[in-house]
Structure 1
Amino acid sequence: MAEEPPLSEERSEVERLDKKYVFGTWSFQSEVDPTEVVGGEGVRFTDGSGDEFIDFSGQLMCSNLGHSADAVADAIAKQAQEGAYFAPGFATEARARLGEKLAEVTPGTLSKTFFSTSGTEAVEAAIKIARMYTGKQKIVSRYRSYHGATAGSISVTGDPRRLKAEPGIPGAIKAPDPYAYGSTLDPMESLEYIDEMLMLEGDTVAAILVEPIVGSNGILVPPEEYLPRLKEIAHDHGALLICDEVMAGFGRTGEWFGCDVFDVTPDIMTMAKGLSGAYAPLGATIVTPEIADHFEDELFCHGHTYAGHPVACAAGLAAVETYQEENLIDHASEVGDSLGDRLEELADAHPSVGDTRGVGLFRGIELTRDPDERVPFGEREDKISTGSTVVDDVAAAAADEGVYVANMINTLIIAPPLPITEPDIDEAVAALDTALEVSDAAMDR
């Protein structure tokens, strides 16, 4: 048996077993040092030592309902008792009702859904559907993007995590992003680059795949006219527009979906995370009637054992109903404006804060070594390198103050559960105010 890896002092039995027997994700295993969690209530969760944390990132930007959505938990228990699993060839009320509900809340005419168990599977389905529908193979995505970890979705991902999986699937090509703070290209100029890319590729591109608001690669919000123009470019070249709403969807932006912020309906949309409020593994890929009709007489050559799992769909239906009944989308918009103001105050107080950006409860704080020259603390490749970064150290300092915040390269990702209140925000921002002293002190190192 392999030698047991070292742990921090005074770790619990659960932490010891987890370290020994479970892979930590996206990590050098020697650096994995897990913290036991034992429960949650509202926008807070508790570790094995009894310490409580404000969940200022909704775990991995997925706990949109917080940690005590009783209606969702009850729906899971009820479905598990009535019938935990039936093969996808059978119709269940949970799956049928959730399909109907998604046709109601998604934009435009999007109406027919394939259910899966995660965001990466939802993207895999979108890629295959686009290829089957158009008869073309290439997928254009962007460099600052994350679309999932499986073979196809990591291939269309742009961030450095794809490098360990290359070569990926054929036909995945990358374009620049609408990154106003750190790119040499103006966001709208990057669109014309994409337009020329598709012209030069000829009639070979099945779809353009984008996060309407980029998530873990920095919370990048494009100009208002960006997404409408991108859809126009796609259609001009006979390609589809796929919007990956896995992270931005279900109220995170103060609208149901990120593309709603820009009044755009994509041809295909992917969903997960907030779809069930993270109460069950659930993904979805929804398409327009034109695409759905194509498969009336053509083989829909895709499926999973757990496609439309009844328990997961019951969770999803209860989650969407909770968003509606508790008016959480409007609430996210209202408190999101206040959150944006508070983050601007942090930027004014801390020279290491280069930029704050976002919409609703989907925001980022980008740290910089030199605000005038916009010199980052770290590089993109740090994501796949060993050792901690300055932004890791800031997140650790926030945890010491009782706030959990996720981070990626140079950006703190602020995406709390939608029921968060302004007093909760005040408390979390005060903790970040203290934690950012770490990055301020690192500017001269």
Structure 2
Amino acid sequence: MCSASSASNDGLLKALNDSQRYLDIVHKAELSKHDAEWLIDTTVSNFANYYNSGFIEYRKSVAEAGDFAAVEWTGRGATFKDVLGREYIDCLGGFGLFNLGWTHPKVVGAVQAQLQKSPLPTQELLDPLRGMLAHLLAEITPGDIQYSFFVGSGTEAVEGAMKLAKLYTRKSGFIAAVRGFHGKTTGSLALTGKAIFRRPALPLHNNIYHVPYGDAEAVEQQLQVAREVGNDIAAVVMEPVQGEAGAIVPPDDFWPRLRQMCDEYEVLLIADEVQTGIGRTGKLWGVEHWNVAPDIITSAKALGGGVMPIGAFMSTPKIWSVLNSNPFIHTSTTGGNPLACAAAIAAINVTLEEGIVEQTAEKGDYFISHLKDIAARYSDIYTDITGKGLLIGQHFVNDDIGYAVASGLFKRGVLISGTLNNSRVIRVEPPLVITYQEIDTILNRLEDTLQELRTSASLFVADPAMPQALKEVTLAGESAIGGIAVA
């Protein structure tokens, strides 16, 4: 029987050999067929055994793409290839990461240049790129926003915004929206308005109140009740357009009324622009559709240019005074590191230089109008098309219809977003640099998918694994389409 130390040494030797094999793959620009097949098998095995086996089941339409699962490898613009060289149009955009597409050369170049100098800060000296990025954000954010703090993700940005609001107002409560999404760490999760995420982690941050999104009267009623019973509210937190809920656009008077009410009741207004910011909705910031200046803005996802992870929460000098007076009350060892800041500086530059925001507004109008035409012709399948810019929701008549569309599109070389929890709405969220030719290709492949599903309805009935609700739709003589579950 071997000793614990010898077993440990055997494990370390295996880790050394495995890590070298993995590094060899990392350094290869191209893979042989043998290497590609090995990488696919290894990736599926590693996810199942060491990361999360649920991902394999959830990503079935991807993991079972032909004889070998689709494992991402490289991309440029709005297209990417898997390790076997199969090419896809990206209509998911990393849920908002890839506004500038895959590997934008100017963003990659900025990170590579900074990498040769200093990848991480000393923590003691002043790192110049953090100051540069903060200055740029002050120039491009609405209203009197001037100061920024940098983190590594959107949920951290929301956590920081909540903390800032509590420090400034000396109140603890928040009003958020049903079906809103703000992150999954415990503070931001308390704001998130979906039971499937919140319930397993209860109890969360108390003094949180959820109202229907877009219902200004419900917000005001909650503020009135809070004032009467002493539930001090620090801030109202909303997405300009709800993303995970399915690209839900509020009534045009909603954000102006929020601004008015927050001023009247002396609470802060926080715009969670983690997904909508940096051009996604056809404005640089989503709140600009309604000419509203919030007190605090969060940003992440696209801020890193699709190359580095970075998030930020930003506010006015008056509110930021509570951080200026104690700069160590909120810190991050790796947030706002030089590589991430270099990527964000380049991302802002490219967004402005290439007119990305204006392009997005035009492409969004084009895409939405054509999707509405399709929805009208398949009115027994679609209930609505919603969204602004290139944050678009396809709404179907039921959840089960979701799976076949995204699966059919993926087989046709289009990756579209889905979620385990709600396939009734499928987001269309491509890189903002997508071309009109690529949009037309997606629309054509969507038509092909719908037509095939309609003409092959009998095949669905014969499939014992087909969801019961979809069988019932087919047996009733209705046409059926679907897509991977999307949040």
Which interval holds the TM-score relative to the shorter structure?
Answer: 0.7 to 0.9
Partner residue in 1 for 2:16: none
Q: Pick one of 251, 272, 276 that aligns with 2:304.
A: 276
User: Contact 1:119–1:271 at 8 Å: present in 2 too?
Assistant: yes
Partner residue in 2 for 1:434: 448
Q: Output the amino acid matched with 1:335.
A: K
Q: Percent identity?
A: 32
Q: Output the amino acid matched with 2:139.
A: E
**Do structure 1's residue 238 and structure 2's residue 266 form an aligned pair?**
yes
**Do structure 1's residue 338 and structure 2's residue 373 form an aligned pair?**
no
Deviation for aligned residue 1:194: 3.8
Deviation for aligned residue 1:294: 3.4
Partner residue in 2 for 1:372: none
Deviation for aligned residue 1:406: 0.4
Q: Pick one of 137, 142, 152 that aligns with 1:117.
A: 152
How many pairs align?
411
User: Contact 1:333–1:360 at 8 Å: present in 2 too?
Assistant: yes
Partner residue in 2 for 1:4: none
Deviation for aligned residue 1:155: 1.5
SS in 1 for 2:418: strand
The CA RMSD measured in Å over matched residues stands at 2.3
User: Contact 1:198–1:237 at 8 Å: present in 2 too?
Assistant: no
Structure 2 residue runs of 5 or longer lacking an equivalent are 1-36, 64-69, 458-469, 475-487
* 1:38-187 pair list within 5 angstroms: 38-159=73-194, 160-178=196-214, 187=215
**Do structure 1's residue 418 and structure 2's residue 432 form an aligned pair?**
yes
User: Contact 2:186–2:204 at 8 Å: present in 1 too?
Assistant: yes
SS in 1 for 2:387: strand
Query: 1:115 and 1:71, CA in 2 relative to 1: closer, same or farther beyond 3 A?
Result: same
User: Contact 1:227–1:264 at 8 Å: present in 2 too?
Assistant: yes
CA–CA separation in structure 2 for the residues paired with 1:137 and 1:120: 18
User: Contact 2:103–2:306 at 8 Å: present in 1 too?
Assistant: no
Q: TM-score, normalised by structure 1?
A: 0.87
CA–CA separation in structure 1 for the residues paired with 2:229 and 2:191: 17
CA–CA separation in structure 2 for the residues paired with 1:396 and 1:231: 42
Query: 1:241 and 1:398, CA in 2 relative to 1: closer, same or farther beyond 3 A?
Result: same
Deviation for aligned residue 1:433: 2.3
User: Contact 1:390–1:439 at 8 Å: present in 2 too?
Assistant: no
Q: Output the amino acid matched with 2:112.
A: A
Deviation for aligned residue 1:232: 1.7
The answer to which of 345-354 and 158-167 deviates more is 158-167
CA–CA separation in structure 1 for the residues paired with 2:39 and 2:308: 28
Structure of higher RCO (CA pairs closer than 8 Å, 6+ residues apart): 1
Q: Output the amino acid matched with 2:259.
A: K
CA–CA separation in structure 1 for the residues paired with 2:383 and 2:51: 34
Q: Output the amino acid matched with 2:416.
A: V
Deviation for aligned residue 1:412: 1.0
SS in 2 for 1:253: coil
* 1:251-330 pair list within 5 angstroms: 251-298=279-326, 301-330=329-358
Q: Output the amino acid matched with 1:267.
A: D
User: Contact 1:88–1:307 at 8 Å: present in 2 too?
Assistant: no
Partner residue in 2 for 1:354: 383
CA–CA separation in structure 1 for the residues paired with 2:412 and 2:221: 44
User: Contact 2:89–2:413 at 8 Å: present in 1 too?
Assistant: yes
CA–CA separation in structure 1 for the residues paired with 2:134 and 2:246: 31
CA–CA separation in structure 2 for the residues paired with 1:407 and 1:200: 42
User: Contact 2:176–2:210 at 8 Å: present in 1 too?
Assistant: yes
Deviation for aligned residue 1:31: 4.5
Q: Output the amino acid matched with 1:177.
A: Y
Deviation for aligned residue 1:163: 1.9
Structure 1 residues 416-438: Cα deviation after superposition (integer angstroms, max 9, x where no partner)? 11111211111111222233458
Q: Pick one of 352, 363, 388 that aligns with 2:392.
A: 363
Query: 1:316 and 1:70, CA in 2 relative to 1: closer, same or farther beyond 3 A?
Result: same
Partner residue in 1 for 2:243: 215
User: Contact 1:87–1:306 at 8 Å: present in 2 too?
Assistant: no
Q: TM-score, normalised by structure 2?
A: 0.79
SS in 2 for 1:295: helix
Structure 1 residue runs of 5 or longer lacking an equivalent are 1-8, 179-186, 369-376, 379-388
Structure 1 residues 375-401: Cα deviation after superposition (integer angstroms, max 9, x where no partner)? xx23xxxxxxxxxx4313321111011
Deviation for aligned residue 1:193: 3.9
**Higher helix fraction (1 or 2):** 2
User: Contact 1:23–1:29 at 8 Å: present in 2 too?
Assistant: no
